[in-house]
Amino acid sequence: MEWLSLVLFALIIAALLAGYPVAFTLAGVSLGFAAICSLFGAFDMAYLEALPSRLFGAMQNQTLVAVPLFIFMGLVLERARIAENLLETLGQLFGHGRGGIAIAVIVVGALLAASTGIVGATVVTMGLLSLPAMLKSGYDPRIASGTICASGTLGQIIPPSIVLVLLGDVLSSAYQQAQLRAGNFAPQSVSVGDLFAGALLPGLALVALYIIYVLCVAWLQPHRMPPPPDTGPVVGHAGWRVLKALVAPLALIVAVLGSIILGFATPTEAAAVGAAGALLLALLRRSLGLARLQDVMRGTVRLTSMVFIILLGASVFSLVFRGFGGDVLIHDLLSSLPGGPAGALIAVMLAMFLLGFIVDFIEITYIVVPVVAPVLLAMGMDPVWLGVMIAINLQTSFLTPPFGFALFYLRGIAPPAVRTTDIYRGAVPFIVLQLAMLVVLWFWPRLVTWLPGQIYG
């Protein structure tokens, strides 16, 4: 009855499209479908006896403790107006040439990605601060909105990324499953630190692609990105202002990311350092009052609850899916595709890309990745390389119309002069750049595996 697992998957997607909450849809539809099928002898309810141990194991997972800490760090930095200070300073430095404001937005997006990793906050903050300035300077609304949305999604791939933390947890389990099935009863593991190291160079390369694209547009179509009307010499100690604006976020990045990659701290320990450092920075700047701190704490609880409730619901779905034999069905399906491992990976990446149009990256991480990753890893794929490929693919889910969340975030704060079609069309070139990065990593996997190999051996 393996085909019933596909019926379950289709019912869940239909319920999500109908607007029902993700976590309760995953658990409710799975349990209801299992109960109905058990009445006809198509499902053994004994499979659900493993559910308490799964949920208890998720609650004991030390890696996932990093999630609320990274969320807290990101929200504190947002409320401390770090992004506003960076945009103002770098905007003064770069904004006097064609495309300068767009380059400043990309650089700030990369810095915020490496210090917060929260896409929604980054897009909204940069949209409120830079979009009016870009439109006032005569920027094409498409290039302005596309640059802001794409820069905001860099938090998906540049570590420390919440996506990489969640992927690291899922892939670690999948990698151990693949090795046990292959007869290796002393399986190796893949850690979040491995994914952080593997994603660093591709993330910086993606930033470089964004900047190259902006420079090409500024050169080939200068009317779309004119310089500000009041162009003049940069007065004052510009270098000192830039250095002063960059010291705090760079120090936080080095403390958090450096300690993880160099092995001085686990992701959870580094996230705690980052949260404490962000809070200390905000207090030193006197930019985080009691009311704002309460907002940060409420936001942290809200986002963390969402992630963990989805995790628990996904555990129920995964158990029921395997009870129907869905894992065997997926293994047979991917193994029978033409092209071997390459054909299987292309099919999975295409499916994830298409699902990104309609569901969020968290659902894809917890619904699709646990099902397909063990099969792909059993085919001999490097787990770090596969994780980075999936992360960049999931990054496109924030940009793909019509349901890309980054597009929604910007639409909510953009002026009426910026049409929704402008936002959609502006995101398309950056989607193409992300897909091009996937192609580069396909033919040049050393861009992912080199740095983890140099650090961890």
* pLDDT tens digits along 317-374: 888 888 888 777 877 888 788 888 888 899 888 888 877 776 667 778 887 888 888 8
For the stretch 100-110, pLDDT in tens is 888 888 888 88
Per-residue pLDDT at 395 exceeds 60 = yes
Average pLDDT over residues 44-71: 81
Taking the alpha carbons of 295, 296, 297, 299 in that order, is the dihedral positive or negative? positive
Question: Within 13 Å of residue 216, how many CA atoms lie on the same side as its CB?
Answer: 7
| Count, residues in the chain | 457
> Looking at 166-180, 358-372, 424-438, which range is the least confident one?
358-372
pTM score of the predicted model: 0.80
Q: At what angle do helices 369-378 and 162-181 cross, to 10 degrees?
A: 50
- Contact present, 154 and 391 (Cβ < 8 Å): no
Hey, what are 354's tokens?
A: 């298409």
For 329, the 3-state DSSP assignment is helix
Return the pLDDT at 417: 83
For 332, the 3-state DSSP assignment is helix
> Looking at 85-99, 334-348, 362-376, 427-441, which range is the least confident one?
85-99
For 34-57, b/e burial (b = at least 16 CB within 10 A) is beebbeeeebeeeebeebeeeeee
Burial of 119 (0-12, 13-18, 19+ CB in 10 A): buried
Hey, what are 115's tokens?
A: 């210090």
Q: Which residue has the tokens 């969320």?
A: 71
Task: Tell me how far CA of residue 304 lies from CA of 24, 95, 123, 298, in angstroms.
Answer: 16, 37, 19, 10
Of the candidates 148, 208, 129, the one whose C-alpha atom is nearest the C-alpha of residue 422 is 148
Hey, what are 83's tokens?
A: 């992004």
High-pLDDT (> 90) share of the chain, %: 14
The total of other beta-carbon atoms located within 10 Å of residue 398's CB is: 28
Average pLDDT over residues 293-316: 84
- Contact present, 426 and 419 (Cβ < 8 Å): no
The kind and range of the H/E element at 151 are helix 141-152
For 401, the 3-state DSSP assignment is coil
Q: End-to-end CA distance of the chain, in Å?
A: 45
- Contact present, 119 and 152 (Cβ < 8 Å): yes
- CA dist 83 and 70 (Å) reads 17
Per-residue pLDDT at 17 exceeds 80 = no
Q: Which residue has the tokens 């936001």?
A: 299
Q: Which residue has the tokens 């409120």?
A: 128
- CA dist 316 and 305 (Å) reads 17
Of the candidates 63, 139, 54, the one whose C-alpha atom is nearest the C-alpha of residue 315 is 54
Give phi and psi for 157, each to the nearest 5. -115, -30
Q: Which residues contact 446 (CB under 8 A, 6 or more apart)?
A: none
- Contact present, 391 and 167 (Cβ < 8 Å): yes
Return the pLDDT at 231: 46
- Contact present, 369 and 390 (Cβ < 8 Å): yes
- CA dist 28 and 33 (Å) reads 8
Contacts of 316-319 with C-beta under 8 Å, sequence gap 24+, read 316/26, 316/27, 316/30, 316/31, 316/51, 317/8, 317/12, 317/26, 317/27, 317/29, 317/30, 317/366, 317/367, 318/366, 318/370, 318/371, 319/30, 319/47, 319/48, 319/50, 319/51, 319/54
- CA dist 96 and 228 (Å) reads 6
For the stretch 211-265, pLDDT in tens is 999 999 988 888 888 876 654 445 455 566 667 767 777 788 788 888 877 778 8
- CA dist 385 and 446 (Å) reads 9
Hey, what are 287's tokens?
A: 């930019």
The total of other beta-carbon atoms located within 10 Å of residue 254's CB is: 11
- CA dist 422 and 429 (Å) reads 12
The kind and range of the H/E element at 325 are none
The total of other beta-carbon atoms located within 10 Å of residue 357's CB is: 13
Hey, what are 248's tokens?
A: 């705090």
